[in-house]
Amino acid sequence: MSSATITDVAQRVGVSVATVSRYLSGFNVRQRDEIENAIHELNYRPSAAARNLKSGRTATVAIVVPDISNPFFAAIASGAEAAAGPDYMVLLVNSGAVREREEKILGQLFGRVDGVILSPLQEDNEGPSFFSKYGLPIVFVDRITADADKFDSVLVDNVKGARLATEHLIALGHEKIAIITGPLHTTPGRLRAEGYTSTLKREKIALQKRYLIESDFTREGGYASMVKLLEDPIPPTAVITGNNLMSIGALEALKEKQIRIPEDISIIGFDDLEFPTLIEPGLTAIFRPWHEQGAEAMRALLARIAAQAAHTELSPQHHMVDVHLIERGSCAPPKGLPARSKG
């Protein structure tokens, strides 16, 4: 019932465990056929736990993300997986955007993986760097922590993306531009807001605090934030949404309130939608290669692991993924919304 061990195989063939072990690692052994048979007959599988323990290597890496339901992170995972090659098993773990879970997961992963690609929940979280004190290679993707300069990272050019979006709207004549951004204690939340505010400043448009809404990267958050903006006595004429899910939520709110795009309001998403052609009008968006960003993170991790194995010094590598603006139909010059009726 319970699984056979290498000893069982060795006994059945009449060789030592060392020989079976050697056979398993690809060395030449005299009774290779007999061993192969015995393995099949006994349904033998090497115990991963025992292997890890002895060798210290796991041939496994993990990707820890805040929300696996977000297609962005699913794509990051796919990209990373594709870049991992056949030698590594890639595990995906969802921290569910709960800080204690993230910390617990990192602890549990320790000793079971050779490295981790992490999208940390908060920039002020010391868990990851604390974690890496144990010598576990770690690469930040999309988000970093405060001391991240000491670690590898693969970020997107958040500031540039937000700048492109803001400039695009300003060029169209908008001045009442709002942004629905992610939590300011996350990297993309903070930097996209920064790109927005710095561009406004440079263009000499006064920042209206009520136009800068800190939300939570969820569809519900995007919906609620857009509703809030629409209820403003002087609603914005254009809105930048800070990630794909919030774009969807915001679009849902607009549709529900029957606000026309782009006639009544312009909207730009940071991150393109997955299926951009199906909705009408198409969402003008800041594009970046999701899959490639994941792949880049995996390459960085494998390089880090290799460096560690070779005891080579390797300074922290910081990769930056470029963005560009894709114009579709969701932006137009402002005409202003009708004045808000009471009730």
Least distance to DNA, CB of residue 248, Å: 45
Least distance to its own copies, CB of residue 103, Å: 12
| Residue closest to 250 by CA, chosen among 234, 266, 274, 263 | 266
Query: Is position 78 an interface residue for its own copies (rule: CB under 8 A)?
Result: yes
Task: Report long-range pairs for 185-189 (Cβ below 8 Å, ≥24 apart).
Answer: 185/122, 185/123, 185/124, 186/121, 186/122, 186/123, 186/143, 186/217, 187/123, 187/142, 187/143, 187/144, 187/155, 187/158, 188/142, 188/143, 188/156, 188/158, 188/242, 188/243, 188/270, 189/214, 189/217, 189/242
Torsion angle of C-alpha atoms 81, 85, 88, 93, degrees rounded to 10: 0
Distance between CA atoms of residues 93 and 184, nearest Å: 24
Query: Is position 22 an interface residue for DNA (rule: CB under 7 A)?
Result: yes
Closer to its own copies at the Cβ: 212 or 326?
326
Choose among its own copies, DNA, none what residue 6 binds, the Cβ cut-off being 5 to 8 Å by kind: DNA
Query: Is position 94 an interface residue for its own copies (rule: CB under 8 A)?
Result: yes
- Structure token digits, residue 227: 């509703």
Stretch that binds its own copies, among 62-70, 142-150, 195-203, 335-343 (CB under 8 A): 62-70
Q: For residue 108, which phi and psi values (nearest 5 degrees)?
A: -70, -30
Least distance to DNA, CB of residue 9, Å: 7
Query: Is position 93 an interface residue for its own copies (rule: CB under 8 A)?
Result: yes
Choose among its own copies, DNA, none what residue 129 binds, the Cβ cut-off being 5 to 8 Å by kind: none
Choose among its own copies, DNA, none what residue 155 binds, the Cβ cut-off being 5 to 8 Å by kind: none
CB 262 within 8 A of CB 234: no
Residues numbered 34 to 73 that lie near DNA (CB under 7 A) are 44-47, 50-51, 53-55
Q: What is the contact surface with DNA in residues (CB under 7 A)?
A: 5-7, 14-19, 21-22, 24-25, 27-31, 44-47, 50-51, 53-55
Q: What is the contact surface with its own copies in residues (CB under 8 A)?
A: 1-3, 43, 45-50, 52-53, 58-60, 62, 68-69, 71, 74-75, 77-78, 81, 89-94, 96, 105, 107-112, 130, 133-135, 219, 248, 251-252, 255-256, 275, 277-280
